[in-house]
Amino acid sequence: MENKELQVFTFDQIKDEFIGTKETVNRQVYEQELQLEVLGDLIKKVRLERNLTQEQLGKLIGVQRAQISKLENNTTNVTLDTILKVFGALKAKVNFNVELQNDVVQIAV
């Protein structure tokens, strides 16, 4: 029986191969969608920790329950204003990192 060594790949190498390198449009779209999905999961997690229903959170920020559901399930475009309202209502601090080529600018809101 032949002894074959397994080859190990990083997650970035796999994404480069199957989605495209970081410079490609496909990869940028993938990364952006992934970040929005993580954001939706985070909103849901914090909402549940605060013992709020989607309807209650919606009332706190002036939107319908369906809008909160869409945010949590990443089925809608979301504005920065809405994100700030949601996390404000959840009493959560929001930090943003903006990357400008090789520089990183951090903004705490």
**Which residue, among 99, 104, 64, has the nearest Cα to 82 in the 3D structure?**
64
Q: What is the largest CA-CA distance in the chain?
A: 67
CATH number of the domain located at residue range(s) 11-108 in this protein? 1.10.260.40
- Dump pLDDT digits (tens) for 13-48: 999 999 999 889 888 888 888 888 888 999 999 999
- Dump pLDDT digits (tens) for 53-87: 999 999 999 999 999 999 999 887 778 888 889 99
CA-CA distance, 36 to 30, in Å (whole number)? Answer: 10
pLDDT of residue 42: 92
**Chain centroid to CA 23:** 20
List, in sequence order, the alpha helices (H) in 1-109: 11-18, 25-49, 54-61, 65-72, 80-89
CA-CA distance, 83 to 10, in Å (whole number)? Answer: 32
CA-CA distance, 47 to 67, in Å (whole number)? Answer: 14
pLDDT of residue 6: 87
Q: Where are the domains of the chain?
A: 11-108
CA-CA distance, 89 to 76, in Å (whole number)? Answer: 20
